[in-house]
Amino acid sequence: MTKQLVAVKIFFSSQFDDAAEAEVEALSALEHPHIVKIFEWKQGLLEHPSKGNKVVNFIVLEFLPNGELFDLICLGGRLSEDCARYFFKQLLSAMGYMHGKGVTHRDLKPENLMMDAETNLKVADFGFAAPIEGYDKSGLLRSQVGSATYMAPELHLGKSYTGESVDLFAAAVILFTMVSQRPPFETATLQDGLYRYLAAERPRQFWDLHLASFAEEGDSVGYSDEFRDLFEKMMKLNHPNVLGIIH
């Protein structure tokens, strides 16, 4: 690692021990071009001139100079569908690999998707990662973790869920956010007016509301039929061929 730029993630409090262990365990088992690389995991002394010294845990990770996908969307505006497709394919590649290796991320969102020097996507922040098979080997998980906007409906309902389904749902929300510069809804609950139309299989009203909102802002955004069809089907994760559809 001589003369190599790296990123160091420091865990200051014992409350982050579980997240640190989950991240180290997951990243140590994964090696993929669209997943951040881990180099080492250590405990060391953090020196501070006024606050004193403190023993901390830290992870040494691949340095990703182009930052978060979140910042690209916020500062650069909506992505074209072609550009979103480029990142989305890389995200799906990483997801397919990690799921094949028995790992679910459970906190996919633009803030946890980084970009390297060539602007390739890298999935990061595996603090909520868990085994696909579940901790009891049942194939189901039960912890309510993640970020509200990207959480699948079963998480909001406190139900058991599969890691694959919640990652796929989050990926669909990310796809919409890339193209729209806003999420499709606040939360995937029936209390959310936008999501309610999708849950009731009334997608036309969902799209009409978004387009009307953009029009009020003087923005002429549009969505291709292909994009609408893909997003709607990804919202139905019980669709018999959802994996085939997105690939």
Active site residues: 107
DSSP track, 109-149:
SGGGEEE-TT--EEE---TT-EETT-TTSSS-B----S-GG
User: How far from 32 is each of 37, 84, 237, 240, CA to CA, in Å?
Assistant: 8, 20, 25, 28
Strand 54-62 to strand 103-104: parallel, antiparallel, or no bridges (unpaired)? unpaired
What is the C-alpha to C-alpha distance for residues 220 and 37, in angstroms, rounded to an integer? 40
**Tokens at 206, concatenated:** 């969902």
Displacement of CA 229 from its chain's centroid (Å) = 21
DSSP state of 160: -
For residues 166 and 146, the answer to whether their CB atoms sit within 8 Å is yes
Tally of residues, the chain = 247
3-state secondary structure of 118: coil
Q: Which residues are paired to 59 by β-bridges?
A: 9, 41
What is the C-alpha to C-alpha distance for residues 187 and 147, in angstroms, rounded to an integer? 10
DSSP state of 37: -
**Tokens at 31, concatenated:** 């090696």
